[in-house]
A and B are shown apart, each in its own frame.
Chain A
Amino acid sequence: MFSHLHVHSQFSFLDGASRVEDLVLKAATDGSPALAVTDHDNVSSAIPLAKAARAAGIKPIHGAEVWAASPPEARPTRADGPPTGGHLTLLALNAHGYANICRLVSRAHLENERLKPRLAWDALAAHNEDVIALSGCRRGEIPSLVLSGEYDRAMAVARRYRDLLGPDRFFIEVQNELLPGTTAVLHDLKELADRLGLRLVATNDVHYATKDRFPAHDLLTCVRTLTKINDVHPERRLNAENHLKAPAEMAALFTDFPEALRATEEIVERCRPAVDLDAALFPRYAVPEGTTAAAFLRQVVDQGARWRYGAITPAVRQRLEHELDIITRLGYEDYFLLVWDVARYARKEHIRFAGRGSAADSAVAYCLGITDVDSVRRGLLFERFMSLERAEKPDIDIDFDSRYRDRVTKYVYDRYGADRVAAVATFNTFQGRSAIRDLGKAMDFPPEEIDRLAKRLPWIGADEVEQAFEGLPELRQGGLLPARRYQRLFEAAKAVAGFPRHLGTHLGGLVISARPLTEVTALQEAAKGIVVCQLDKDLAEDAGLVKLDLLGLRTMGAVEEAVRSIKGSEGRHPAPPPVPFDYDRLPLNDPEVYRLLRTGKTVGVFQLESPAQRALQARLGADSMEDIVASVAIIRPGPIKGNMVEPFIDRRRGREPVTYLHPKLKPILEKTYGVVLFQEQVIEIATAVAGFTPGEADRLRRVMSHARSRQEMQEIGRLFVEKAATKGVEAQVAETVFGYMAGYASYGFCEAHAAAFASTAYKTAYLLRYYPAPFFAGILSLQPMGYYPPNTICVEARRRGVAILPPDVNQSQEEFAVEEVAVEEVASGQGIRVSLKAVKGMSREGLDSILEARAAGAFTDLFDFCARTTVDRDIIENLIKGGAFDALEPNRRALLWLLDDALARRTEGGLLKMAGPAVHRPDVDDFTEFEKIAFEHDILGIQVRRHYLSLLRERLKAAGFVTSRSLATMARGRRVKVAGLLVRPHRPPTKSGRTVVFLSLEDEFGLADVTVFESVYQKYGQYIFCDPCPPLIVWGKVERRGKGVSVTAERLAHLDPKDLPRRRQRPSPTGAS
């Protein structure tokens, strides 16, 4: 029976319109015994093909289609001209052949310009063992030469391939795609094959599984070639015949060449499994001579335990033995040593880091210094991270100071070898916005229309766009044309939803292999010269590779900057803590820190600064690390959708008794007051209540962690209720319990991860409480980071009595820095000087030039600055507008007038021309206050002098507006109107599925938090989600919960100062108006 041997899946980016799984299913349904997938210069399909084929009961054949250069002897004699060659289809006879194909694809990528892979003849000559080559589609060198009448050259090329590979490994590929010239080409290729003693093989150059996918493929081709749908392009297919035709259809097309069909059967018969789905490719750690990895790990853990605990108690010893036993039985000693080594390197280089994720369940990881969570003290179970039953590969994630993460990555490459380490890929897929942009362009919609539509879409899948258009007011009422105009665009978006557009780099994910990676997958160059493998994180795990996530977290950098500043000014902090400062050994029970958290004023605190978190802190009454761990875990879609938040708060505060639907839930949920907060609790419930086996629990965990289908969750639900019944649990109780679990599914944190994050959350709260100036300076230096934009951070800093000092060419450093300020001006005696880097457009060269020149002496004026630095004109203009010269000359407009003159003198030899005309300050009015604030906001992202709303405050007050500060004292239910700059509007998922928008309004005093429920959102949503968004007015009612206050919106509008009462004129001293 015929099998397809030339097939493109979604991994032929923008040229394959069907997924591997759909292709396999079609082939199996049609009765084919095998299917090959041969993507363009890519082997990403290898694992999904192996899995899908195994499930469907057909044989997978792995391969790729490459662009191969002409054999040297067969090239045209003209030395100039474009490189000659064409497509070549490669198929693996076995694992060795597959490894060779990976090498060939890697060389094609790495030896050529990025995104232009070309396979050189000598590469094919070196790595063709156990590889079959087919001469390719119409874009193969031999068929295209035949098509253009260059028959002799076609023969020469074919002869070289035959001589290299032999007639049993090189075939002449023929297709009957019902295109012009097909019949003639078929006969010519047959003649060529006969003359050279080669065989024909029939393929269909498949690009989609079924005919109805042709429009999707045509559109993908338009996107790829930047062609409009009404235009022709040679790569656009003339007809819809490149689908996975059934064997009977193929037989009908090749009645004149039955041998070409038989050849596919022979090739299929010869191919053996090439990809091992059960491989383990862990790297070995180079332990000292005379010891083993297990013994060395034990030794290092012992040392670490003494460092962490001082004296090792029996409980700690027992726990460590238990973990080491599991680690060695699973064979993961080398992995732990590898990660320990990376952490050790970072520590040695003073690169701040923190382990995250379920690794925090491990006491071994704690003793190795990888994580910062004492899992023994917290009662965290190691089995949640690793267990003998699951036998899953460990996966440890570490957050590094983002500035130095690449240094750590380089260390790993150097240590293990560049051929065994590569970045993990990520497949950038069509989502709502990208689909609308790319397809809208291809379908020839006006660019500005597509831009408006795309910008207003929330971050949704491409298959949800049509629904969004009907459901979201900012799309319905946003000035966009009626939906029917975009009907075909929506359908096209749905057709390509989730398809990969290109291969990118996973931020921080590295695979490390015991064997050269090109035995497992192909490598290519991604952006910034990073070598990436063609596996994403899931495929890497399936391939048996070990992965390490070296992530960059700007919070680590902000902390590092703060710590450096604090240590550098020891003894000069206004209100230091009661114990000497050591960030790595902070006391975790400082009551002042918890008092701060309870105010809900936690802007800047890691994980606890969002409006939802601030509202929670104001109600929860946190007084221990457990409360912070719970806080980190509870403001997540899982607990919110599962309706856990309110019961948790009430029970924690003792306002509601803690009850359990079933006694078996008590030991599991006691720690969290009867509420499901952690992923681990869901698994424990499944085991305790329904007796799930480890395998069933593992399936539940996978469904939860990978956000798999609702259908699968429902199936698990039925199993849960059935099994619970056999354990004597009533159906209604079981259904309710599973309802909690299902609502939680896929969005929850694991407890260890929450604990790891809670540690950093507490410590940043500590910094905020005792060292607000250095802490905020660190956050501002590491922007963009955190939840809020820099201006909001500055408003908060001011609220805490820290001044924001304008940029200054003589005072500003590279980063934001703390300066002492007269106590008469600012109660804390501290201010944060805006950095030079914060100035829009500031270049590295410009920065260095300023710092170097200034080291020789302060700048005296603009001319002196221009003479002594090489800063570009645009940057100097920004420095002026941003206020960096105010201390030398407050009139910014005058300076701009002088700038060209100052620069002209610079170009005349860098010295002021002594004989030139004297420089006079032009007599021009300076910019208005409003203009200066606008410049600062545009150039620095910060309104330094004063907040924009402070200019309007008098008029706002006259019009009855309240401030964010005054809201704090207002009674619940009072109707107010408040205005501010819109900050971070967002729509988290809710249990009911109805939309609720949370946003903050920033004024000069702080933030006013606003909640917009569905009905109000439907009427006024267009005022929230817009780009750009003017300041917003909210009319609503005050809501109070605990110490927190917010406004529930009833009406929204944009603020227009023209609508405010005019400022009252003060009477002139002379009486004239």
Chain B
Amino acid sequence: MKEVLDHWLEAGEWWDGDGPREVFRVVTGGGGIFELSREVEKDHSPGGQAKAPGEWRLYKVYD
């Protein structure tokens, strides 16, 4: 991975029990652009920050 182009949070399909996820849009050395995501542990406390364990997944590939 060469560079992180962007980074954001998504709430996911919370109504189906999905948890929030963190997404990174990256560019690789070969010029490919990908989005990688990982689940953020659901924090049920009212003002809590997202905690960040979870395995990495390939979320999107840009042609």
Binding site for B on A (CB under 8 A): 26, 178-184, 209-212, 214-215, 218, 229-230, 237-241, 243-246, 249, 443, 488
Contact = CB atoms under 8 A, between A and B. Distances in A.
B14 interface: yes
A209 B43 CA distance: 15
A445 to B, nearest CB: 12
**Top-5 shortest CB links A-B:** A210-B46, A239-B9, A178-B9, A239-B11, A240-B11
A212 B11 contact: no
A762 B30 CA distance: 93
Contacts of A238: 8-11
B49 interface: yes
Nearest to B4: A183
Contact of A210 (B10, B23, B25, B47): B47
A184 B4 CA distance: 12
B8 A212 contact: no
A180 B46 contact: no
Interface string B11-38: 1011100001001010000000000000
B49 A179 contact: no
A249 B49 contact: yes
B39 to A, nearest CB: 13
A229 B17 CA distance: 13
A215 B14 contact: yes
B1 to A, nearest CB: 17
A239 B49 contact: no
Interface of B: 6-11, 13-15, 20, 23, 25, 43-49
A241 B9 contact: yes
A1030 B20 CA distance: 51
Given A215-B15, A239-B20, A178 B7 contact: yes
A179 B14 contact: no
Contacts of A182: 6, 8
A238 B11 CA distance: 6
A212 B46 contact: yes
A212 B48 CA distance: 9
A180 B8 contact: yes
7 contacts: A180-B8, A180-B23, A211-B47, A229-B15, A243-B47, A244-B47, A249-B47
A135 B5 CA distance: 26
B7 A183 contact: yes
Contacts of A243: 47
A210 B25 CA distance: 28
A211 B8 contact: no
Nearest to B15: A229
A237 B11 contact: yes
A244 B46 CA distance: 10
A180 B9 CA distance: 8
A26 B6 CA distance: 31
Given A184-B6, A211-B43, A229-B15, 14 more contacts: A178-B7, A180-B6, A180-B25, A182-B8, A210-B46, A211-B47, A212-B44, A218-B14, A238-B8, A240-B11, A243-B47, A244-B47, A245-B47, A488-B15
B6 A183 contact: yes
Contacts of A215: 14-15
Nearest to A30: B47
Contacts, number: 57
Contacts of B45: 211-212
Given A180-B25, A218-B14, A239 B47 contact: no
A919 B20 CA distance: 78
B42 to A, nearest CB: 10
Contact of B10 (A209, A218, A239, A443): A239
Name the residue among B10, B44, B45, B48 with the largest chain A CB count within 10 angstroms.
B10
Given A210-B46, A211-B46, A240 B20 contact: yes
Nearest to B48: A211
Contacts of A239: 8-11, 20
A229 B11 CA distance: 13
Name the residue among A180, A229, A238 with the largest chain B CB count within 10 angstroms.
A180
Nearest to A213: B46
Contacts of B8: 178-180, 182, 238-239
Name the residue among B11, B20, B48 with the largest chain A CB count within 10 angstroms.
B11
Contacts of B23: 180
A211 B42 CA distance: 11
Contacts of B47: 26, 210-211, 243-246, 249
Contacts of A245: 47
Contacts of A244: 47
A218 B13 CA distance: 11
A249 to B, nearest CB: 7
Contacts of B10: 238-239
Contacts of A183: 6-7
A246 B47 CA distance: 8
A249 B46 CA distance: 14
Nearest to B21: A239
Nearest to B46: A210
A212 B46 CA distance: 5
A243 B10 CA distance: 14
Contacts of B25: 180
Name the residue among B7, B25, B46 with the largest chain A CB count within 10 angstroms.
B46
Contacts of B6: 180-184
A211 B46 CA distance: 5
A238 B14 CA distance: 11
Contacts of A246: 47
B7 to A, nearest CB: 7
B11 A218 contact: yes
Contacts of B46: 209-212
Contacts of B13: 230
A181 B6 CA distance: 7
Contacts of A241: 9
A210 B13 CA distance: 19
Contacts of A443: 15
Nearest to A236: B11
A714 to B, nearest CB: 27
Contacts of B15: 215, 229, 443, 488
Contacts of A237: 11
A210 B20 CA distance: 16
Contacts of B7: 178, 183
A182 B48 CA distance: 21
Contacts of B20: 239-240
Contacts of A212: 44-46
B62 to A, nearest CB: 13
A237 B8 CA distance: 12
A218 B10 CA distance: 13
Nearest to A179: B8
B20 to A, nearest CB: 7
A214 B20 CA distance: 12
Contacts of A181: 6
A233 to B, nearest CB: 14
A702 B8 CA distance: 49
Nearest to A238: B10
A178 B46 CA distance: 18
A212 B43 CA distance: 9
A218 B15 CA distance: 10
A184 B10 CA distance: 18
A443 B15 CA distance: 9
A218 B12 CA distance: 12
A218 B11 CA distance: 10
Contacts of B44: 212
A611 B46 CA distance: 50
B14 to A, nearest CB: 6
Contacts of A26: 47
A216 to B, nearest CB: 11
B17 to A, nearest CB: 10
A497 B63 CA distance: 47
A184 B11 CA distance: 21
Contacts of A488: 15
Contacts of A184: 6
B40 to A, nearest CB: 10
B60 to A, nearest CB: 11
